[in-house]
């Protein structure tokens, strides 16, 4: 049974957005991680060439898309040996996060584990399925009623990366519980601190994690961030054939299929690593401007070793920070939106133009200089 859902949290930000827009130099919106850079030409061209889409698309994905996903996992994520039954395209990753509990039969009396610092849709998905959400980062705490475990590495909002040993421990506990375990990995190409500057961020499907057995283990990925395709809603899941087979059956009955032109665009995106490297360097440059400015303004940066955000605290209530930032024309995300454990944190997105990131840095430094006696 569907449990009551909370009001959409971002509606609380409307007064702060209005205040920030009143700044003489305009708003710097660092609240939502929506890409601002152009979709790569290789993707746009593939979409344009695929507009004759007179037949229904395949829920499984075209053979070309299946091959592209399998090849990408082997090349970029260190996961060889996937077959067609181990991959499935989805209409963005948010709908999968929200609907996956229902699709695999999790319901009343069951527990869904998610990170303490968490993208809110994990808990929303539990409520939609009538299950209980349990925020915990410690596998030893996960209760016997657990049927689904969400990991998020690199994390949103905190940019935390789970190492191979940490992922292996989580998978081992999931197997003890007989639970499905899913890692949301959509920021995996955005590693900033060592060792993730020289080695890939590990996938939960990595053989070092699973020992070669991916039953009840799933990774999900989105092209929104690495390829600036948020408007395309192109994402996919990979993992155990049993779980993905269940998802496929439900999606076929419900008509949840990715439009054919978008499947062609995904093939192009997955086959081209150059544009991903270019986008990663854009975000790296913006991070190198924004991070020291936040520190100069009195913020401490926690984790944030990878991903699209800086997870920061000025040591005061998050809403006080949001209010002070809005006075500077800067909009950020309140930590309480991501769980009750972070009342003093705020999240800063790197998805703003170079000019807007530079403007935010200048305002933060000027504010710090004014506060210095």
Task: Report the CATH number at residue 209.
Answer: 3.40.640.10
- Is 101 part of a structural domain of the chain? yes
Q: How many domains does the chain have?
A: 2
- CATH number of the domain at 360, please: 3.90.1150.10
* Mean pLDDT across the chain: 95
pLDDT confidence band for 12 (50 / 70 / 90): confident
State which residues form the domain around 348: 9-38+275-371
Same domain, 30 and 47: no
- What pLDDT is stored for residue 373 in this prediction? 62
Same domain, 319 and 256: no
Same domain, 199 and 341: no
pTM: 0.95
Q: Region 201-225: what's the mean pLDDT? A: 97
- What pLDDT is stored for residue 1 in this prediction? 66
pLDDT confidence band for 11 (50 / 70 / 90): confident
CA distances from 192 to 35, 120, 163, 320, 347 (A): 18, 24, 15, 29, 17
Q: Give the whole-angstrom CA distance, residue 289 versus residue 26.
A: 19
- Whether residue 6 has pLDDT greater than 90: no
Strand pairing class (300-302; 234-239) = unpaired
Q: Region 250-276: what's the mean pLDDT? A: 96
Same domain, 213 and 114: yes
Same domain, 145 and 57: yes
Which residues are CB-neighbours of 92 under 8 A, at least 6 positions away? Answer: 222, 224, 233, 234, 235
Same domain, 238 and 98: yes
Peptide bond into 194 cis (omega under 30): no
Same domain, 229 and 307: no
- Is 25 part of a structural domain of the chain? yes
Same domain, 263 and 342: no
Same domain, 22 and 92: no
| Closest among 112, 263, 253, 255 to 177, alpha carbons compared | 112
């Amino acid at each position: 049974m569907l449990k009551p859902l909370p009001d959409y949290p971002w509606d609380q930000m409307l007064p702060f957005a209005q205040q920030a827009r009143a700044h003489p130099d305009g708003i710097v919106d660092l609240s939502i991680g929506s890409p601002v850079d152009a979709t790569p030409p290789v993707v746009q061209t593939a979409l344009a060439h695929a507009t004759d889409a007179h037949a229904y698309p395949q829920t499984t994905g075209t053979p070309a898309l299946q091959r592209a996903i399998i090849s990408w996992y082997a090349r970029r994520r260190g996961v060889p040996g996937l077959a067609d039954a181990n991959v499935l395209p989805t209409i963005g990753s948010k709908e999968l996060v929200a609907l996956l509990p229902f699709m695999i039969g999790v319901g009343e009396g069951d527990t869904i584990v998610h990170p303490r610092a968490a993208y809110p849709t994990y808990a929303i998905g539990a409520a939609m399925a009538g299950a209980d959400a349990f925020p915990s980062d410690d596998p030893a705490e996960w209760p016997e009623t657990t049927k689904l475990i969400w990991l998020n590495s690199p994390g949103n909002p905190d940019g935390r990366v789970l190492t191979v040993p940490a992922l292996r421990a989580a998978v081992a506990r999931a197997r003890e519980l007989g639970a499905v375990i899913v890692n949301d990995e959509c920021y995996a190409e955005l590693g900033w601190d060592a060792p993730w500057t020289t080695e890939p961020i590990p996938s939960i499907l990595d053989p070092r994690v699973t020992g070669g057995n991916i039953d009840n283990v799933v990774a999900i990925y989105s092209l929104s961030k690495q390829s600036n395709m948020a408007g395309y809603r192109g994402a996919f899941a990979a993992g155990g054939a049993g779980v993905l087979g269940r998802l496929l059956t439900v999606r076929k009955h419900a008509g949840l299929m990715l439009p054919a032109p978008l499947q062609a665009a995904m093939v192009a995106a997955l086959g081209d690593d150059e544009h991903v490297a270019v986008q990663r360097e854009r975000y790296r440059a913006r991070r190198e401007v924004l991070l020291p400015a936040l520190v100069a303004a009195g913020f401490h940066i926690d984790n944030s070793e990878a991903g699209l955000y800086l997870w920061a605290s000025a040591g005061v209530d998050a809403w006080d920070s949001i209010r002070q930032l809005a006075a500077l024309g800067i909009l950020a995300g309140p930590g309480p939106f991501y769980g009750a454990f972070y009342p003093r944190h705020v999240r800063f997105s790197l998805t703003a133009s170079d000019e807007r990131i530079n403007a935010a840095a200048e305002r933060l430094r000027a504010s710090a200089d004014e506060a210095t006696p």
